[in-house]
């Protein structure tokens, strides 16, 4: 992700992205479901996945907002080498 993913690991969003999405929304449910199956574990895992998805969505929106405030990231994103090949040459 390079420069464009930098806001996700900023001091503001890293706890939400890493903690909420990766740890709380992916790894914790996997750990819960790896043991003996039970209804409470399944419900807790489901809730954690939903909350992790919400954290991911919020982190992406806020990360995009932070990235848009960085003019160099915006200009590097708009360079011609970052355009998909099917769109090059269209005017």
**Per-residue model confidence as pLDDT tens for the chain (91 residues):** 666 677 888 888 999 999 999 999 999 999 999 988 899 999 999 999 999 999 999 999 998 888 888 777 667 766 777 666 776 666 5
Tell me the CA distances in angstroms from 57 to 5, 51, 74, 89, one per residue in order. 14, 10, 21, 34
DSSP sequence for 44-59? HHHHHHHHHHHHHHHH
- C-alpha to C-alpha distance for 26 and 50, rounded to whole angstroms: 10
pLDDT value of residue 7: 82
- C-alpha to C-alpha distance for 16 and 66, rounded to whole angstroms: 14
**Overall pTM surpassing 0.95 (yes/no):** no
């Amino acid at each position: 992700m390079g420069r464009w993913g930098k806001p996700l690991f900023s001091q503001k969003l890293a706890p939400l992205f890493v903690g909420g999405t990766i740890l709380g929304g992916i790894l914790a449910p996997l750990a819960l479901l790896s043991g003996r199956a039970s209804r409470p574990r399944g419900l807790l895992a489901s809730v954690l996945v939903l909350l992790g998805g919400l954290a991911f969505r919020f982190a992406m929106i806020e990360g995009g907002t932070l990235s848009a405030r960085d003019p160099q990231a915006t200009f590097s994103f708009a360079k011609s080498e970052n355009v998909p090949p099917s769109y090059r040459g269209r005017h």
